Amino acid sequence: MSRSSDSQNGRVLSDLSVSTSPDTGVALPILELRKLGKKFSGTHALKEIDLAFISGEIHAIVGENGAGKSTLIKILTGALERTSGEIFSNGVPLSLGSPAQSLELGIDAVHQEVVLCGHLSVAANLFLGTERTRFGLLKQSDMVRKAQQVLDNFGFDLPSVTVPLNTLTIGQQQLVATARAAARGARFLIFDEPTGYLTRSETDQLFALIRRLNAAGTTIVYISHRMEEIFELADRVSVLRDGRIVSTRLVSETNIDELIRDMVARSIEEVHHKEEVQLGDVLLEVEGLSGPGFENVSLKVRRGEIVGLYGLIGAGRSEFAQTLFGRTARSAGVIRINGKELIANNVNDAIKAGIALLPESRRDQGLCLNLDVRFNLALPSLRRLSTGGFVNARKEDALAQRQIENLGIVTSSATEKVFNLSGGNQQKIVIGKWLHHGAELFIFDEPTVGVDVGTKVQIYKLFAELLRHGAGIIIISSYLPEVYDLADTLHVFRKGGISATFPAKAVHHETVLGKAIGN
């Protein structure tokens, strides 16, 4: 890793941010990209990007998955090197060759998946890369005190800064990541879908922090699929499509429809696609189920019904699903599928009974990323595809092709590694692998996190398709507009139990949120 720092990069962005052009007296952008390009093995991820960030603004960037947002962030943070074009700060060219160099300039990023070291303490993470030492030895108590100060200043109430980071909730980790960037003197802070796994209250805390940093002079780049967040937070918004900047507008002068037209070059109704399906018999009946993290949960799912589970992270929704799926043992309660009691001691029993769980963290739990599309699609059905223990390659291939077509999975071939696919396409594979497995009850844990608008609609259409075929669906989501619009019955979880149940759209968002928080 080269740490070469040329003379102009020795200065911090803040030193440069107030300068004006000597000729015109107009403020120069804090960062300006000119004809920026990035090629990966022949294909352009970014093409001639011209974009200027004005000092002190909140600049949103939107675009479908694969539009080039991640590549752009990686170039700015020095994780990738550009293949062409120039980057200027107040008219001064920058090289941006390594993460260390970007940090030195005050450019930092907060990612959706918290990119910190889970095994290290909160304090150690805050100071990772900028440790304080005396005679080569770490000043540990000094750093702990300072870390506590930083978090106190931002008004977080963490139990302790010496606990390992991975003992905190994802929301808390996200706040730590933001505080860390701020404490390191970030003057240009990029947020890459930071709210993907956050509950609304955690999102509010994060927004408060972002506004506070912005008020203190930090330029913010905010990337999100959630349109309402853009309109809540940003000053300007740029649309990225196929590696190009399509438009840059003032947020106050545009609307969701216009942005979506720019993003997909076609108009999509930004409503959560919901088809009316006739409800059938009771498919799943849960009575008084208790397990690790939740207690005494009872609910029913009928054929053709979407049951939503809403609540804050840690309220017991995912834990309930894990037990229903046989991942964790239940301590009490009865589960009936089609009226027959299910004694699920392990995942296999649950799968045989027709339950499919589509996990929250699809990269970690749902896919074998370094294996190909065909393998992943066939994995749960290998038994059906094989005779005498040998997998029938032709059947496997046919199944993969059928799913790729049905779901519209964008991949060069069935043998493409899943790792190379976009987030939305990965999600389709996670769903596709259960479709021809005879599953009847589908549990989706945060199904549209990190998925763009176009893919979202496809996923919602897929739900409707499943329902028409007599399936039942449970959706677990922290994103209230989604579960609210989709669910026929909405259960609100709080502190390990169901705190309220509402029929479709019976009450306002605020009431549902109140039940989740405990008003």
Partner 1 sequence: MSLADMKVTRPVASAKRQQRLNVLRGLTLLLLLVLLWVLLSFATPTFLTSANITNLMRQAALGAIIAVGQTFVIITGGIDLSVGAIVGLSSTVVSILLKSGLPVWTAVALTMALGPIIGAFHAFGILKMGLPPFIMTLATLTGLRGVGLLLTNGQTITGLPPEFVDFSRQSFLALPILFWMMVIVGIPAYLLLHHTVWGRYVYAVGSNAEAARLSGVSISKTIYLVYITSATCATFAGVLTASRIGVGVATTGEGWELESIAAAVIGGASLFGAIGNISGPLLGSVLLTTIGNGANLLNVNPFWQRIITGALIILIVWFDQMRRSNRR
* Residues in contact with partner 1 by the rule CB under 8 A: 1, 3, 77, 79, 99-100, 103, 109, 115-120, 124, 128-131, 133, 136-138, 140, 155-160, 162-164, 167-169, 171-172, 200-202, 204-205, 312, 314, 517
For partner 1, which is the closer residue by CB, 150 or 439? 150
Helix H, strand E, coil C: the string for 221-245 is: EEECCCHHHHHHHCCEEEEEECCEE
For partner 1, which is the closer residue by CB, 171 or 354? 171
- The Cα–Cα gap between 335 and 285 comes to 6
Going by C-alpha positions, the residue among 378, 364, 286, 367 that lies closest to residue 325 is: 286
For partner 1, which is the closer residue by CB, 202 or 305? 202
User: Nearest distance from residue 444's CB to partner 1, in Å?
Assistant: 24
Q: Please, which residues bridge with residue 473 across strands?
A: 306, 442
User: Nearest distance from residue 108's CB to partner 1, in Å?
Assistant: 9
User: Nearest distance from residue 457's CB to partner 1, in Å?
Assistant: 30
DSSP single-letter state for residue 119: T
- The Cα–Cα gap between 136 and 369 comes to 41
- The Cα–Cα gap between 137 and 220 comes to 35
The C-alpha angle with vertex 352 and arms to 350 and 356, in degrees rounded to 5, equals 55
- The Cα–Cα gap between 401 and 378 comes to 11
User: Nearest distance from residue 222's CB to partner 1, in Å?
Assistant: 19
User: Nearest distance from residue 179's CB to partner 1, in Å?
Assistant: 13
User: Nearest distance from residue 121's CB to partner 1, in Å?
Assistant: 9
For partner 1, which is the closer residue by CB, 204 or 257? 204
User: Nearest distance from residue 163's CB to partner 1, in Å?
Assistant: 4
> If DSSP codes are grouped into helix, strand and coil, which group holds residue 313?
coil
> If DSSP codes are grouped into helix, strand and coil, which group holds residue 190?
strand
Pairing of strands 188-192, 137-138: unpaired
Helix axes 256-264, 453-468, angle to 10 degrees: 90
User: Nearest distance from residue 147's CB to partner 1, in Å?
Assistant: 14
For partner 1, which is the closer residue by CB, 127 or 222? 127
For partner 1, which is the closer residue by CB, 180 or 433? 180
For partner 1, which is the closer residue by CB, 504 or 517? 517
Specify whether the CB–CB gap between 186 and 214 falls below 8 A.
no
For partner 1, which is the closer residue by CB, 209 or 357? 209
- The Cα–Cα gap between 445 and 181 comes to 30
For partner 1, which is the closer residue by CB, 387 or 519? 519
User: Nearest distance from residue 307's CB to partner 1, in Å?
Assistant: 25
Specify whether the CB–CB gap between 311 and 516 falls below 8 A.
yes
For partner 1, which is the closer residue by CB, 118 or 438? 118
> If DSSP codes are grouped into helix, strand and coil, which group holds residue 138?
strand
User: Nearest distance from residue 146's CB to partner 1, in Å?
Assistant: 15
DSSP characters over 43-95: EEEEEEEEEEE-TT-EEEEE--TTSSHHHHHHHHTTSS--SEEEEEETTEEE-
Contacts of residue 492, Cβ cutoff 8 Å, sequence gap at least 6: 310, 311, 498, 499, 500, 501, 502, 512, 515, 516
